[in-house]
Amino acid sequence: MRTDTPPTIYRKDYTPPSYWVRTVEMGFDLEPSATRVATRMTLERNQTSNDKVLTLYGEELQLVQIRLNGKVLGTKAYQLKDGVLRIPTTAEQITLDIETLLQPDRNTSLMGLYVSNGNFFTQCEAEGFRKITYFPDRPDVMATYKVMLRGDKKKYPVLLSNGNLIEQGDLGDGRHYALWEDPFKKPSYLFALVAGQLVCQEETIKLKSGREALLQVWVEEGNLDKTQHAMDSLINSIRWDEERFGLELDLDRFMIVAVGDFNMGAMENKGLNIFNTKFVLANPRIATDVDYGNIEAVVGHEYFHNWTGNRVTCRDWFQLSLKEGLTVFRDQEFSADMIGTDSGRAVKRIDDVRVLRQAQFPEDAGPMAHPVRPDSFVEISNFYTVTIYEKGAEVVRMYQTLLGRDGFRKGMDLYFERHDGQAVECDDFRAAMSDANGRDLTQFERWYSQAGTPRVVATTVYDAVHKTYAITLKQSCPATPGQKNKLPFHIPVAVGLLDSNGNDMQLHLRGFPQVQSTVVLELMEEQQTFVFEDVSEEPVPSLLRDFSAPVNLEYDYSDADLAFLMAHDSDAFNRWEAGQRLAARRLLALTATAQQSGAVLTTDPALSESLRLTLNDAALDPAFREIALNLPSETVIAEQMDVINPQAIHQARRFLRQSLAQALRADFIEAYKANQTPGDYSPDAASAGKRALKNLALSYISELDDAAAHVMAQTQCDGADNMTDRVAALGALANSTAPGKEAALAQFYQDFEAEPLVVDKWFSLQAMARTTDVAAVRKLMQHPAFSLKNPNRARSLIFSFCNGNPSQFHASDGSGYAFWAEQVIALDAINPQVAARLARSLDRWRKYAPSLQSKMQAALKRVAQTAKLSKDTKEVVGKSLA
Q: Which residues make Cβ contacts (< 8 Å) with residue 850, sequence separation at least 6? A: none
| 347 or 386: CB nearest ligand ARG | 386
DSSP 129-163: GGGTS-B--STT-EEEEEEEEEEETTT--EEEESS
Q: How far is the CB of 685 from ligand ARG (least distance, A)?
A: 24
Count of CB atoms within 10 A of residue 405's CB? 11
Q: How far is the CB of 324 from Zn ion (least distance, A)?
A: 5
Q: Which of 177, 292, 384, 672 binds ligand ARG (CB under 6 A)?
A: 384
Q: How far is the CB of 192 from ligand ARG (least distance, A)?
A: 12
Using CB under 6 A, which of the segments 123-131, 159-167, 502-510, 682-690 binds ligand ARG? 123-131
Site string for Zn ion, 627-646 (x = CB under 5 A): --------------------
- The residue type found at 51 is D
Q: Which residues pair with 81 in a beta bridge?
A: 84
Handedness of CA 414, 416, 420, 426 (dihedral sign): positive
The DSSP 8-state label assigned to residue 388 in this structure reads I
| 300 or 632: CB nearest ligand ARG | 300
In contact, 18 and 46? CB cutoff 8 Å: yes
Q: Which of 97, 125, 137, 220 binds ligand ARG (CB under 6 A)?
A: 125
381 binding partner (options ligand ARG, Zn ion, none; Cβ < 5 to 8 Å by kind)? ligand ARG
* Footprint on residues 163-192 left by Zn ion (CB under 5 A): none
Using CB under 6 A, which of the segments 24-32, 138-146, 260-268, 586-594 binds ligand ARG? 260-268
In contact, 215 and 209? CB cutoff 8 Å: no
Residues designated catalytic: 302
274 binding partner (options ligand ARG, Zn ion, none; Cβ < 5 to 8 Å by kind)? none
| 580 or 833: CB nearest ligand ARG | 833
| C-alpha–C-alpha distance, residues 824 and 869, integer Å | 10
| 677 or 873: CB nearest ligand ARG | 873
267 binding partner (options ligand ARG, Zn ion, none; Cβ < 5 to 8 Å by kind)? ligand ARG
856 binding partner (options Zn ion, ligand ARG, none; Cβ < 5 to 8 Å by kind)? none
| 313 or 450: CB nearest ligand ARG | 313
| 330 or 650: CB nearest ligand ARG | 330
Q: Which of 24, 256, 259, 264 binds ligand ARG (CB under 6 A)?
A: 264
Count of CB atoms within 10 A of residue 47's CB? 7
263 binding partner (options ligand ARG, Zn ion, none; Cβ < 5 to 8 Å by kind)? ligand ARG
> Residue 82 region, left (φ>0) first, then alpha (ψ -120 to 50), else beta?
left
| Strand ranges for 406-445 from DSSP E | 423-424
* Footprint on residues 828-847 left by ligand ARG (CB under 6 A): 833
Q: How far is the CB of 125 from Zn ion (least distance, A)?
A: 9
Q: Which of 109, 116, 122, 123 binds ligand ARG (CB under 6 A)?
A: 123
| C-alpha–C-alpha distance, residues 827 and 833, integer Å | 9
Collapsed DSSP state (helix, strand, coil) of residue 32: coil
Count of CB atoms within 10 A of residue 390's CB? 27
The DSSP 8-state label assigned to residue 790 in this structure reads S
Site string for ligand ARG, 210-249 (x = CB under 6 A): ----------------------------------------
| C-alpha–C-alpha distance, residues 853 and 158, integer Å | 53
Q: How far is the CB of 35 from ligand ARG (least distance, A)?
A: 20
User: Is 272 among the residues that bind ligand ARG (CB under 6 A)?
Assistant: no
| 383 or 557: CB nearest Zn ion | 383
Collapsed DSSP state (helix, strand, coil) of residue 121: strand
User: Is 263 among the residues that bind ligand ARG (CB under 6 A)?
Assistant: yes
125 binding partner (options Zn ion, ligand ARG, none; Cβ < 5 to 8 Å by kind)? ligand ARG
* Footprint on residues 303-342 left by Zn ion (CB under 5 A): 324, 327
* Footprint on residues 353-382 left by ligand ARG (CB under 6 A): 381
| C-alpha–C-alpha distance, residues 20 and 43, integer Å | 5
User: Is 608 among the residues that bind ligand ARG (CB under 6 A)?
Assistant: no
| C-alpha–C-alpha distance, residues 543 and 761, integer Å | 38
Q: How far is the CB of 125 from ligand ARG (least distance, A)?
A: 4
Q: How far is the CB of 187 from Zn ion (least distance, A)?
A: 14
DSSP 294-338: HHHHHHHHHHHTTTBTTTBEESSGGGHHHHHHHHHHHHHHHHHHH
Collapsed DSSP state (helix, strand, coil) of residue 230: helix
Q: How far is the CB of 111 from ligand ARG (least distance, A)?
A: 6
HEC profile for 238-305? HHHHHHHHCCCCCCCEEEEEEECCCCCCEECCCCEEEEEHHHCCCCCCCCCHHHHHHHHHHHHHHHHC
* Footprint on residues 316-335 left by ligand ARG (CB under 6 A): 324
User: Is 18 among the residues that bind ligand ARG (CB under 6 A)?
Assistant: no
264 binding partner (options Zn ion, ligand ARG, none; Cβ < 5 to 8 Å by kind)? ligand ARG
* # residues contacting Zn ion (CB under 5 A): 2
| 121 or 279: CB nearest Zn ion | 279
Exposure string over 245-272, b if 16+ CB within 10 A, otherwise e: bebebbbbbbbbbbbbbbbbebbbbbbb
Q: Which residues make Cβ contacts (< 8 Å) with residue 25, sequence separation at least 6? A: 39, 40, 41, 145, 146, 147, 148
Q: Which residues make Cβ contacts (< 8 Å) with residue 171, sequence separation at least 6? A: 150, 177
Using CB under 6 A, which of the segments 73-81, 264-272, 604-612, 671-679 binds ligand ARG? 264-272
User: Is 702 among the residues that bind ligand ARG (CB under 6 A)?
Assistant: no
| 805 or 870: CB nearest ligand ARG | 870
Collapsed DSSP state (helix, strand, coil) of residue 666: helix
655 binding partner (options Zn ion, ligand ARG, none; Cβ < 5 to 8 Å by kind)? none
| 606 or 830: CB nearest ligand ARG | 830
User: Is 126 among the residues that bind ligand ARG (CB under 6 A)?
Assistant: yes
| Strand ranges for 524-665 from DSSP E | 527-532, 540-543, 552-554
| 379 or 773: CB nearest ligand ARG | 379
Q: Which of 61, 147, 257, 267 binds ligand ARG (CB under 6 A)?
A: 267
| C-alpha–C-alpha distance, residues 330 and 674, integer Å | 35
Under the rule (CB under 5 A), what is the footprint of Zn ion? 324, 327
- Note the residues at the interface with ligand ARG (CB under 6 A): 123, 125-126, 263-264, 266-268, 301, 324, 381, 384, 833
